[in-house]
Chain A
Amino acid sequence: MSTLLKVESLKKYFHVGQGLVTARFSKSVRAVDDISFSVEEGETLGLVGESGCGKSTTGRCINRLLEPTAGSIHFGEIDVRKLRAGKLKHYRRDVQFIFQDPYASLNPRMTFGEIVAEPLVIHRFGTKKDREERAKEMLKTVGLSPEHIHRYPHEFSGGQRQRVGIARALMLRPKMIICDEPVSALDVSIQAQIINLLEDLQEQFRLTYVFIAHDLAVVRHICDRVAVMYLGKIVELGGWKEVYNAPCHPYTQSLLSAVPVPDPEKQHERARIILRGDVPSPIDPPSGCRFHTRCPIAQFPICSDVEPPLDIVAGGQRAACHFAKPFPIPEDKM
């Protein structure tokens, strides 16, 4: 296995406030603040975190839907940030995107056939007939009927629409697909189908996934490695087994404790870590460790003064915490 995607010190700041005068004094939202990770060929990396932690922004920066503020992104040998018009278009052939909301991500004025064939039109593949053939095949691959090419999105359910979104992403035979919460807008029963479909397709097309989600159960199912994000930073990064079995960062621990278990008795008995307060504003993030304002094990002044590096910890994964250790959480904090 070789490294397919390497992201280093990626930053994306959004400026708040417009206008000539105010812009100079305005602060910026640090949506993604200095994160690094890599994705191996053929694996699935999960990006997890609550809303607003910068996971979608990261995905969009990789595909250059957003221009990063700083840092580097390498895709194989390609320096993604240096790509211009033609080469960027070529790069986007290899890195496709699946969007969260199947109701918003399909143009309501185009038929399924047109939507699925559009990547081929943009990249000038084949004749109109070839493209239609390929669109039909792809619809079949994702579990829809080829006859659906003349239908419009508003005639279909969320799960079916998401299949079309997936078909569209596969048309150019990309190497990597960034899945931006592909199932969070769907019913639970449909979620399972789509996840299984994505897994099957990964095998069939040898895909690499960057899988963005806020649902840990979904990530656990599909990911090889997981990166947990909090306020624009990666707080824990490692193989899913390590992260799920022995989470080292208190934030990861609290996230995992919030996942419901199917057995009501166990659910009742089980300890939960409830975080106090809200996520601080990314415009003015806390000093030192960003999690220290809500952390159950924070010690002062070190946690509020020194930013912990993302270091390798006991379990073998990386965690950004001064007191990272596998699970045990003091009784009185539960």
Chain B
Amino acid sequence: MAPDFFEDPRRRDIGQAAEEQTFGGSEALAETVVAGRGRTLRTDAWRRLRKNRLALAGLVWICFMIILAASADLWVPHFFGAPTAIDTSKVAQQSLLSPSADHPFGTDKLGRDILSRTIYGARVSLIVGVVAVAIMVVIGLILGAVAAYYGGWWDSIVMRTADVFFAFPYILFSIVLIALLGFGLQTVFIAIGVIGWPSIARVFRSSILSVKNNEYVDAARAMGASTPRILFRHIMPNAVAPIIVYGTMSIGGAILTEAALSFLGVGVQPPAPTWGNMLSEARSSLFTAPWLMLYPGLAILTTVLAFVLLGDGLRDALDVKLKE
């Protein structure tokens, strides 16, 4: 071994002294690599989302649907007639009219305007989508967090229960639930929400597990932070991004499930219009009046697609590591 290796290192050598002059102290600012001011993660995400045309189209379509559905009472009955009103004296003349200026989407067997029913159907679909997903997210978040944070027995119990739910034929399960709880919009929420939680719990669990091992969680513990603080300040904000994405996509799924249930006649009951029960009613006149099936079908397709596209865009936008 060379003797000079053991020299007093406290006498800083020349190279190092030079480095100090260049970089040391407050001059460290010189290495700034920063872009514009006031960039928060949320504005960054929004900027990235805006660049994604498909996701933006999805968002626009969803907003359009929401506005239509929310404002329906103000104008739809006036122009196209109430969605459930049946004029018994004119059923014969009004029945199964093909699309025209009066009825842009045509009419159904009972002479009700399809456009009006499709718009009102959006209400049910959107509400079911959002509320059912809210229910599944709440259950899924809590159980997923418990499984991931406490681990061990808790993890086994929660995840095995989730597996059992996965193994269940979900339509059958919701029909049984609805049979037990009675028909109605609330029952549909509950049925879809209760069935959907396992996937949210799984996603959240794995997300927490990966965040939990980050050093900033250790750092918080080393500072003496309490468990709730660690959970809500450090783990949750970094683990929810996949849930936002998955939840958005699940809204599309919930709309589909509601349509399926209504189609089977166990969802929202007629005469209240939903896309699902409109399809169900259209079955009998599929060849004579295809528009009965076309418009609610298109509505389901576009809305579900919009949610999936938005979810996809959010996944890219919320990824902190993905820099443009």
Identify the A interface with B (CB < 8 A).
Answer: 60, 63, 65, 88-90, 92-93, 96-97, 99-101, 104-110, 118-119, 122-123, 140, 143-145, 150-152, 154-157, 159-160, 163, 165, 168, 172, 189-190, 192-193, 196, 217, 220-221, 244-245, 256-257, 259, 261-263, 266-267, 269-271, 327
Contacts and interface: CB of A to CB of B under 8 A. Distances in A.
A90 B81 CA distance: 71
- Interface of B, secondary structure class, is helix
Contacts of B9: 217, 220-221
Contacts of A90: 224
Given A107-B216, A257-B1, A88 B23 contact: no
A177 to B, nearest CB: 10
B41 A108 contact: yes
Given A108-B238, A156-B33, A270 B222 contact: no
Given A151-B34, A160-B28, A193-B23, A93 B224 contact: yes
A261 B233 CA distance: 46
Interface in B226-243: 226, 229, 233-234, 237-238
Nearest to B24: A193
Which of A220, A269, A327 has the most chain B CB within a 10 Å cutoff? A220
A139 B224 CA distance: 21
Given A106-B216, A193-B28, A256-B1, A155 B20 contact: no
A124 to B, nearest CB: 11
Contacts, number: 139
Interface in B19-69: 19-20, 23-29, 31-35, 38-41
Given A245-B6, A261-B4, A155 B224 contact: no
B31 A109 contact: no
A99 B223 contact: no
Contact of A157 (B33, B38, B41, B238): B33
Contact of A271 (B1, B15, B40, B226): B1
Contact of A196 (B24, B219, B225): B24
B28 A269 contact: no
A198 to B, nearest CB: 12
Interface residues of B, number: 46
A63 B222 contact: yes
14 contacts: A92-B223, A96-B222, A105-B219, A107-B238, A119-B224, A156-B34, A168-B219, A190-B23, A192-B20, A217-B9, A256-B5, A257-B1, A263-B4, A270-B2
A87 to B, nearest CB: 10
Contact of B222 (A65, A144, A220, A327): A65
Contacts of A92: 222-224
Given A92-B224, A96-B222, A261-B5, 7 more contacts: A60-B218, A97-B219, A107-B238, A109-B41, A109-B238, A143-B29, A193-B19
Given A108-B41, A143-B25, A193-B28, A155 B1 contact: no
Given A93-B224, A104-B216, A108-B320, A163 B28 contact: yes
Given A65-B218, A65-B222, A104-B214, A189 B34 contact: no
